[in-house]
């Protein structure tokens, strides 16, 4: 989720020199890297980001800079909260991250470069303690206000039955503001915890047409259209995950999973008859049961026919 303006990265970082970019499997080194590779020890930096990498994200970007470059970084043209971009200063031997959220510019010192013993020309990277993951360092939205779309979905999200007659209605986008008409539910409880832990506020809206979102003629509809055009920051409901919706929205980790199934009537039908009792067991088994019953019954009869009754034995 990009909680601020969605400016292209190339515009946000205009004038800064790209040092290298990393993805999951390799390091891509542009020509500019050849001018500094004799000093930096990439193994140390790579080790740090392998330890602090969390989940699947965009590639990690590094920029070589001096003090003059960072002077021009302002909230409106700096990296966003969800962009993993770092700045390396060889003159000051530091690496830091600069990003903007809610018009606030945040500058975190990540680590320093020190001369390697025995090879003073080589610089080793040492992270500043405590070492935190990307998500650990970016867990403050600085009171950013988010617009969230939702809808009734029991038992996860409960709306009061009369909200459509009492909640504020906005004709311009045909939505209801339902902050005061939300009941208890799994989704609303989790949202409240996230707002407290991540330091953001929010407003909850529902659509008058109740549309969640599908793709019609290549364009999203329903709540998905609000997310796509930037009028909403999040959708809080049980969206089914599919590749078509993923073209217009990013999914967070699910907090609840539901399973569905389709049941089809068997083509084999039978009327009620004595065969329903016989069918569970094969013919051979029934033949064996009848044979054993006859043999065992005959043996018991013959065994008892030549014996003295128990009552006579008692009298004797």
Residue 256 lies in a domain: no
Q: How confident is the model at residue 5 (pLDDT cuts 50, 70, 90)?
A: very low
Q: Are residues 97 and 193 in the same domain?
A: no
* 195 and 227 housed in the same domain: yes
In a domain, 97, yes or no: yes
Residue from 159, 124, 103 nearest 45 by CA: 124
Number of domains in the chain: 3
Q: What is the pLDDT of residues 13-62, one digit of tens each?
A: 333 343 434 443 344 444 334 344 556 666 667 677 766 665 445 466 77
What is the mean pLDDT of the segment spanning 285-299?
A: 88
Instruction: For residues 58 and 74, state if they share a domain.
Output: yes
Domain extent, residue 303, equals 275-315
Phi, psi of 85 (to 5 degrees): -130, 135
**What pLDDT score does 10 carry?**
36
What sign results for the dihedral spanned by CA atoms 128, 131, 134, 140?
negative
What pLDDT is stored for residue 309 in this prediction? 59
To 10 degrees, the CA torsion angle through 15, 20, 21, 24? -170
What digits encode the pLDDT tens for the residues 149-197? 999 988 889 999 889 999 999 998 899 999 999 888 889 999 999 999 9
pLDDT of 200 above 90: yes
Q: What is the pTM of this model?
A: 0.66
What average pLDDT does the structure give for the chain? 77
Q: Are 111 and 40 in contact (CB under 8 A)?
A: no
Residues 99 and 116 in one domain: yes
- As a whole number of angstroms, the distance between CA 210 and CA 191 comes to 21
Instruction: Examine the domain organization and report whether 129 and 161 are in the same domain.
Output: no
Residues constituting the chain? 316
| Residue 306 and residue 203 in one domain | no
Task: Give a yes or no: residue 303 inside a domain.
Answer: yes
Whether residues 111 and 181 share a domain: the answer is no
Question: Which class for 110: exposed (0-12), middle (13-18), buried (19 or more C-beta within 10 A)?
Answer: buried
Question: Does one domain contain both 216 and 105?
Answer: no
**pLDDT band of 12, cuts 50, 70, 90:** very low
Coil, strand or helix at 175: strand
How much is the pLDDT for 142?
93
- Same domain for 48 and 126, yes or no, is yes
Domain stop point among 118, 137, 156 = 137
What CATH number corresponds to the domain at position 186?
3.40.190.10
User: Is-contact 208 169, C-beta < 8 A?
Assistant: yes
Instruction: Using CA atoms of 118, 122, 125, 126 in order, give the dihedral in degrees to the nearest 10.
Output: 30
Q: How far is CA 129 from CA 61, 85, 126, in A?
A: 22, 19, 9
Considering the domain boundaries, does residue 298 fall inside one?
yes
Phi, psi of 192 (to 5 degrees): -65, -40
pLDDT in tens, 65-84: 665 566 667 777 778 888 87
Q: What is the pLDDT of residue 205?
A: 96
Per the domain annotation, does 46 fall within a domain?
A: yes
Asked if pLDDT for residue 218 goes beyond 60, the answer is yes
Between 126 and 21, residue with greater pLDDT = 126
């Amino acid at each position: 989720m990009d909680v601020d303006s969605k400016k292209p990265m190339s515009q946000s970082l205009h004038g800064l020199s790209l040092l290298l970019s990393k993805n999951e499997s390799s390091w891509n080194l542009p020509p500019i890297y050849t001018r500094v590779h004799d000093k930096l020890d990439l193994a140390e930096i790579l080790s740090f980001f392998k330890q602090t990498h969390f989940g699947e994200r965009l590639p990690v970007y590094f920029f070589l800079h001096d003090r003059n470059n960072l002077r021009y970084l302002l909230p409106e043209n700096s990296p966003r909260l969800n962009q993993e971009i770092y700045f390396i200063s060889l003159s000051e031997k530091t690496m830091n991250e600069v990003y903007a959220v809610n018009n606030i510019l945040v500058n975190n010192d990540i680590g320093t470069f020190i001369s390697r013993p025995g090879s003073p020309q080589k610089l080793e990277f040492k992270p500043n303690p405590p070492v935190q993951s990307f998500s650990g360092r970016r867990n403050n939205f600085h009171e950013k206000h988010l617009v969230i779309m939702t809808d009734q979905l029991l038992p996860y999200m409960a709306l009061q039955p009369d909200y459509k007659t009492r909640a504020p209605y906005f004709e311009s986008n045909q939505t209801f503001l339902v902050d005061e008409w939300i009941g208890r539910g799994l989704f609303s409880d989790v949202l409240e915890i996230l707002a407290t832990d991540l330091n953001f506020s929010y407003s909850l809206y529902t659509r008058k047409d109740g549309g969640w979102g599908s793709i019609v003629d290549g364009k999203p509809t329903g709540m998905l259209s609000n997310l796509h055009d930037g009028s909403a920051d999040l959708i809080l409901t049980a969206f089914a995950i599919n590749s078509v919706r993923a073209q217009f929205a990013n999914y967070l980790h699910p907090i609840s999973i539901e399973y569905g199934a389709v049941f089809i009537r068997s083509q084999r039908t039978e009327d009620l008859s004595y065969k329903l009792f016989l069918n569970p067991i094969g013919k051979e088994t029934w033949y064996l049961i009848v044979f054993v019953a006859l043999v065992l019954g005959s043996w018991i009869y013959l065994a008892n026919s030549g014996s003295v009754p128990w009552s006579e034995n008692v009298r004797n």
